[in-house]
Structure 1
């Protein structure tokens, strides 16, 4: 059995059950796929909206914090303020400005006053300040008192250039150090301008602990395990809940797949989908990144999956319990029809299927089955009749063959006699008799040969011309004959000895009564895809009773049990019978006759050029 017919191995009940389960399963899978897709898209959209808002708020809060911290220093770094003479001169007024301009000429006590100003600022403003460093144009440094700030070239106020704008510079800890600065801090670089010339005279560097950042970011949560982290302008981790990642380049961490392009992103971390969104600060140059596992944002997705699984399980159980019963109701009539067909197969044609009117296909099939059995009975009777008719036809063909064989017995005596006559005519110099004997021998030789029932039209016309030459010798010079046939028809197959007997009939009933003063014309043409050959004469025509008798005999020949016998018009009946036996009733001989004007005998053949066409 071919692979494409494999489903025929199973019963209809099994196939319907499998089809219903398959359709249900595919439907649920598609529903689950679409639900999962749209839940995921919705969860992503919700996350990105929330994350963008949260990161933007955090950035705004940090920017405001740094701007407020910078503004709180303006009073300290301003120039000398107007004083009340009654209160006396304040020795610290404008001291920071003076140190920045000419601090190299300050005494140690004056430098202590500068350091004290910086220390008091720390005590009065923010506990998150680790220390303050004042830097002049000539890179002189003044530190606040009691600070453990680094004083090597790694410090931003030593390694970096002076800045003419507010900057936030991170400083990353050394994990091998045991000092207070082993923890990272950020430096707020505030430019200091001369109030008189409005030119920069130095920078005030405030070292801030990241505890304020930690408190801001630590309070913001996304899901159960989601969080925020900060990446500085060179791609290093400035803040992360995991302190081991602080100071590391983002590219060297497990979070390296996250892009900081400002676009929403979804990546895989250890095979799990992660949602990430970042927001860039123009003040600090940092990126605030929101990070959360996908499953924490799409909690409804798991609920949908569990619901789909429950629906699928319930559908399978219900299908296994209910569908077999429903399918049984549908299949039972089909099984009854199958059993009835087996009885018909065994020859019992009297069976009858119960059928009810309606649009039910099974009932319609039962009605068709009943019509089929009735038609089978009719066909069996018709086949029997056809077999009898076929046997009759074969007997007729056998009779015709026997008759043809009998006509072929011992033709050599006739041939030899004609050759002797031809030789004597030649010796006696009688060319007319010589030609007549030659043509007569050719006609009989053609007649006795039996290569098949059909011959090319060319051969049939050649034999006809031999016969017409004999007639012409007999009735010369009064008799005339013409053969007009296109070369295109010469290879068409026709029944052997179909034209000459008709022409001989014309000679007998048209030429002889007029003592040879007559004309026979033969022409061929195509009509409705058939080849038609007409033999016309200008004799006296057929009497009406003879013409009627010929038509009756032709119709009788067309009947399955028709027979024909020798009579005056044996040529026409014989030709018609052989044509009907070979081609069927639409083909054969037809006659048109006008009393006193002549007759036209038409032979209609199927137009073909080979026996297998």
Structure 2
């Protein structure tokens, strides 16, 4: 549509190159600016990601170190009367009362440790020499659990004086506790004797991570992930991968130990779910794992979309400004073209005496003069061609009407002969009253036929004529014939050709009802279907075989002369319809042995027939 308008407008053709030039210039400028912004935003995000990861890792390490300090205080500082080492020495137990006292003291100190941090789930102390287990009261520890077979026992012993942090797991030594935790473990060292008396397990819930992420949830567009040394997820900001393998959860297969060295943040571009992502990686010494920041390229560059929209706005405003400027400069030229266009429109409306008036000696004036000459010649040519066409059209209409009259003349004598023959039989049988009624109906039919000299009538008038014919047949056949009419109000005023129903009804009576001793029925239907009027004449006679039906169809639709009155009548109606309305309209025949015959007529709806 736009291309068509440009082709028709000289002004648009002159303006188009300037628009293309400015669009190209602004597009290139926008592309360069977008690329620069892309690099700037990527650099800025690198700095932001690095500082965020360092801060998050720092906060996590501080939280763990605070808990670790409380653990070390168990054997380095004195709570209550003594530190916990005193109560773990075997020589401090001389009586049962001493044993109970020691157990209570150890339990109190473990409870004090647990209550020192809301993220601590439980605290367990295991004494090496006696295999004794001490713990906080909730969650309770399974009495049957053998800590000598604790999966990380060797790791704890190897640490000696250091802190061991386990991978994320669900502890199996608690009763009815199934949430994820990380375990902080230390050996309880008797400094005086330089021996390990026990080890303590402090299970910390994942709320420790949630507390760290509180201030970042509304700031980060990506996902922050903590990994253990086996690349299993301690915790992630979106909490969708906790306890799972990072590789299996994301499909990102990367060797972190090879890629990341030192304390700097490393960046990798990866593919996740068919979309480009940036992965920022930081070593975390304390947890011996990694801290990751994963963000999609779309989220990273979200701000560029707004900048692009601003650039497009500036470009559109600039183009409009150029168009307005060019319009002001070219106003005189445009006015002359507009006057010429108005004159041409008048000529297009048929006012061929109009002439284009443009003053001057430039190209537009020369064009106007040439156009005026063309109009003079065009008017002369149209006068000659139009008169000739009118004569040809009038001759064609006369030939069509003559052909229609000839076909219609074939119907009236055939109908009159059949009706008079029926009246003669009634008189011979002495049924004079019925013969008189038939003569009265026949007179009415011919009175209507003579009165209405037109070849085109309404469907309602054609139905009245057909009903009169059926009334004649019902008198003759008595109770052997029943008629049913199903006529839509929408089609009663539609224009149809005169005498298209009577020959079809006559065939239905002669070939469908005559052979029945009783129960004969003819149904006439008329309705609107889309842009068509469809009329059905249906009888419940014996029907016909497929071979006979095909034979009738071929003779009706062929150019050869049909044989038999049945085929002549249908052929006549079909040809008349096609002459007046076109080859796509006409009649169709469907029939099945023992079920009757359905002859349908298809006509245009609301056609203007002349």
Provide TM-score, normalisation by structure 1. Answer: 0.43
Bigger Rg, structure 1 or 2:
1
TM-score scaled to structure 2, two decimals? 0.43
